[in-house]
Amino acid sequence: MKRFSRRRTSIAALFIIMVSSLLFIIGCATTQSGSAARVRDADMKTVQNCQFVGDVHGTSGWGNLAASAGIQNAKNEAREQAATMGASHIIWTGTAGGYSPYVTGKAYNCR
CATH of the domain at 57: 3.30.110.70
User: The domain containing residue 70 runs over which residues?
Assistant: 2-109
In angstroms, the CA 104 to CA 110 distance is 19
Number of domains in the chain: 1
pLDDT of amino acid 3: 56
Q: Summarize pLDDT for 29-86 with one digit per residue, the tens.
A: 567 788 899 999 999 999 999 999 999 999 987 665 667 788 888 999 999 999 999 9
The CA distance from 46 to 67, in Å, is 28
CB within 8 Å of 21: residues ≥ 6 apart: 65
Residue 6, pLDDT above cutoff 50 = yes
The pLDDT score that the predictor gives to residue 70 is 85
Q: Name 105's Cβ contacts closer than 8 Å, sequence gap at least 6.
A: 55, 56, 57, 78, 82, 90, 91, 92, 93, 94
Name the band, by pLDDT with cuts 50, 70 and 90, for residue 98.
Answer: confident
Predicted pLDDT of residue 25: 47
